[in-house]
Amino acid sequence: MAFYTAQATFFDGEINDAIKLSEAFVSRYPSSEHVSEMYRVLGNSYYRQGQPSRAITFYEKYIAGNNRPLRAMPILWDYPIPIPVNTTMR
């Protein structure tokens, strides 16, 4: 139940609460099959707070905990990263 609550809180946009719930879950249930998913939620949450370097730490833990991650990180499509275009090249 705590796993789904943390995820739902994130999807509701309550980022600070999602971080608290996810960190509590990881602390309470370190052997849970859902721990790596909580790392993804933490990574996404910190990214949304504008803390990409902190997010990367959790994304790395997420990837390390999954041989085949089920989800690509939303960072790839939710938050487009502007790519500089060199207009002088032809």
For residue 85, tell me if it sits in a domain.
no
Could you read off the pLDDT of 26-62 as tens digits, one per residue?
999 999 988 999 999 999 999 999 999 999 999 999 9
**Residue 83: inside a domain:** no
With 0-12 / 13-18 / 19 or more C-beta atoms within 10 angstroms meaning exposed / middle / buried, residue 9 is buried
- The answer, yes or no, to whether residue 63 has pLDDT greater than 60, is yes
CATH number of the domain to which 73 belongs:
1.25.40.10
Number of separate domains in the chain: 1
Looking up tokens 């721990």, which residue turns up? 35
Helix, strand, or coil (residue 68): coil
What is the three-class DSSP state of 75?
A: helix
- The answer, as to whether pTM is greater than 0.75, is no
Report if residue 84 sits inside a domain: no
- Of 63, 86, 64, 84, nearest to 73 by C-alpha is 63
Q: Give, as one character, the DSSP assignment of residue 71.
A: S
Q: Which domain holds residue 47?
A: 2-78
